[in-house]
Chain A
């Protein structure tokens, strides 16, 4: 329990600092695995843990202090050369880091670090004792597992034969909630569940031990199966009281007791994000509350609107009282204000920008974890960390990027032996890069994995009734690739049988589009895939096309607009009660904006059209009038209105009129 009298300001500072230390630890511990000999790095990690220990202890967060104390202990032994940097040690440190994060959240949520950390402490203790000690730690358990296999000739033969049959040999480790009364039952459940999916060669504790109620805090076993690691992990995690499951390729050589010194593990996720050149130099800065920044941003937004109005007024006056000295100086002042407001606006945008490295730095850990659990070897490279982007955009692309990265490791990169057989380096490379491109941000995610099998994707789409077989045959490669973004395909359960990228690609696309962004994919069979995200620099403004429909003004993000033109009645045809137009040979649906908006207002002439493109499909919107292209300042409709389908927000035009911002993607989905 912390002393109740913590000053809120003090707590805030502590949390901010802790957050930073945790971030440093997150990045550096991953690097440590790769650069075991880097004493500076080790020193930095030690210092961060030490500082955290001190500050949390001072505020009375005893569990946080305890956990950091054990981390420090382990790190100190590494520093003194007593311990080597093993994957297990890194695991223990990373687990502890997760524990610290959980504690932090406890502090934020309840004001107390009331989270059970005994599992992490046990892991650290085991790591501190070193692999030689025969304690209950992970390293020791594995040694006994290996010993059990060593002693069992038939187990060895089974494992050797499995490789010949193209089966996986997984080492499964499940950790039980400490102190559970049902340890034996849970271990038994794990064994029974897994034996439905394959053959268990050996388990620690063994079935006999379990039946004799000799169960420990975790169970380790070797399983021969055709099932993928993720499926098994899910099976194990289904069992009650299981707090963690690790499935990785069983490697006989790794388990041999001789293999103790510092070495990179089977999952070799390397983060190059920390390259010195790419490191962001610490700059003099002040912290500012994000809400304050947003409030300032809003004020500047209003100023931008007023600036436009003043300019228009000055022009009107100039036309009316041509040559009047007062009006002339008004116009000069108005021009100057315009310039200043523009600079202010730019400056404000800059203030909201963060280097994208703040996001990228979270990924080496993710890639490492996924790689380790799927038995892949992955080199993870990042580039362009200094590229600045609106923090609101950063928040919103995090989940889509995580999804793409997981997919790249899980479905893109092949297993080391497969890669070897294909003449590729055993470690796959995943590269995440960001650059500025014409007022937008380009993020590319490249892997050198097996690529996407378009034939399989098409087959799946036909099977699911999403497209007709003939249509599939006529499809170009690119069209077939784009199918992976369709919801019917990607929401299907696991699709590991095709190299199509698993679950939720449609969600990735819709999240990116919601940001007025675009996601595209290229792929080469056997050569890997490239996902490209084009994103706006900011969400506060966008380039928009203003159109009029039923005497209301709508702003359409230019990112959606493919072309505009006059709508000739002879282009319009009816197909099954739906209007379509034939535009230079391409038939596309035609929607009348007056109709979609469902306002019941009188439709205007609808002489013009805007062809918008959502994903791969063009759609024509009929409008009364095409107006300007301009920078549109986005304003929320407020919580009173909440989400109005098809409307992403509103904006105020130079003449004070309100324009509604069309949410093209959802509008067309519903139309």
Chain B
């Protein structure tokens, strides 16, 4: 994967914020970005699932990315958004604190996560985008829904980079 990541020409990323960290998702993965809306909680659903919403007549599950990444929980603000991502052929919403921009990133700016992160618990991190003034954590959407790994992205990760 690292080879491939390194040789990619250019990426277009949807950049979002969770707590103070900046993350990026490849734009092809993102179906749409909607404002926060009322989420119907589902009893006995997996922990990371916040509930379901009505996405234009379809039921769409929504997860809280803070919870997924083991960050402290925060309240929804006017900036909070639901990023709807297609994972394994199904739409899943992800609550993020804010969507900041859409960015073009040259492929050589992406480092494999193995340089900064060790262990299998970082499967959701596809790479780190180093833009000199800041670091963007590139999220692997396909790994987002696998609940078996206790992925905790912490500040130390960025400090280490």
Q: Give complex CA distance A306, B56 in Å.
A: 9
Residue A598 interfacial (CB < 8 Å): yes
Q: Give complex CA distance A386, B109 in Å.
A: 67
Q: Give complex CA distance A598, B63 in Å.
A: 18
Secondary structure of the B contact surface, majority rule: strand
* Complex contact B57–A652 (CB within 8 A): yes
Number of interface residues of B (CB under 8 A): 24
Which residue on chain A has the smallest CB distance to residue B53?
A658
Q: Which B107-150 residues sit within 8 Å CB-CB of chain A?
A: 145
Which residue on chain B has the smallest CB distance to residue A597?
B43
* Complex contact A638–B61 (CB within 8 A): yes
* Complex contact B41–A552 (CB within 8 A): yes
Against B, the Cβ 8 Å flags (1 = close, 0 = not) of A587-628 are 000000000111101000000000000000000000000000
Say which one of B1-9, B23-31, B87-95 lies at the interface with A.
B87-95
Residue B155 interfacial (CB < 8 Å): no
Which residue on chain B has the smallest CB distance to residue A305?
B57
Say which one of A114-122, A192-200, A499-507, A642-650 lies at the interface with B.
A642-650
Residue B54 interfacial (CB < 8 Å): yes
* Complex contact B59–A639 (CB within 8 A): no
- Report A494 CB to chain B, min CB distance, Å: 36
* Complex contact B59–A636 (CB within 8 A): yes
Number of interface residues of A (CB under 8 A): 30
Q: Please name all residues of chain A whose beta carbon is closer than 8 Å to the beta carbon of B41 when the two chains form the complex.
A: 552, 599, 601
Known A-B contacts A650-B40, A658-B52, A658-B53; the reply to A644 vs B59 at CB < 8 A is no
Against A, the Cβ 8 Å flags (1 = close, 0 = not) of B33-73 are 00000101111111001001110111111010000000000
Which residue on chain B has the smallest CB distance to residue A656?
B54
- Report A505 CB to chain B, min CB distance, Å: 27
* Complex contact B45–A638 (CB within 8 A): no
Known A-B contacts A652-B54, A652-B59; the reply to A640 vs B40 at CB < 8 A is no
Q: Please name all residues of chain B whose beta carbon is closer than 8 Å to the beta carbon of A431 when the two chains form the complex.
A: none
Pick the contact of A637: B59, B88, B145 (CB < 8 A): B59
Q: Which A647-671 residues sit within 8 Å CB-CB of chain B?
A: 647, 650, 652, 656-660
* Complex contact B87–A640 (CB within 8 A): yes
Q: Give complex CA distance A251, B42 in Å.
A: 62
Q: Give complex CA distance A597, B90 in Å.
A: 25
- Report A71 CB to chain B, min CB distance, Å: 43
Q: Please name all residues of chain A whose beta carbon is closer than 8 Å to the beta carbon of B63 when the two chains form the complex.
A: 640
Q: Give complex CA distance A573, B56 in Å.
A: 45
- Report B148 CB to chain A, min CB distance, Å: 14
Residue A524 interfacial (CB < 8 Å): no
Q: Give complex CA distance A660, B44 in Å.
A: 12
Q: Please name all residues of chain B whose beta carbon is closer than 8 Å to the beta carbon of A436 when the two chains form the complex.
A: none
From A639, A641, A642, name the one whose CB has the most chain B CB atoms within 10 angstroms.
Answer: A641
* Complex contact B57–A302 (CB within 8 A): yes
Which residue on chain B has the smallest CB distance to residue A304?
B57
- Identify 16 residue pairs between A and B in the complex whose beta-carbon atoms are under 8 Å apart, listed by A's number: A301-B57, A302-B56, A597-B43, A598-B44, A635-B58, A637-B42, A639-B88, A640-B92, A640-B145, A641-B42, A647-B45, A650-B42, A657-B54, A658-B52, A658-B53, A660-B40
Chain B contact residues, CB within 8 Å of chain A: 38, 40-46, 49, 52-54, 56-61, 63, 87-88, 90, 92, 145
Sample of 7 more A-B contacts, CB < 8 Å, known A638-B61, A640-B61? A599-B43, A635-B59, A640-B145, A641-B42, A641-B45, A650-B52, A656-B54
7 smallest beta-carbon distances between A and B, as pairs: A302-B57, A597-B43, A658-B40, A645-B44, A644-B44, A644-B45, A640-B61
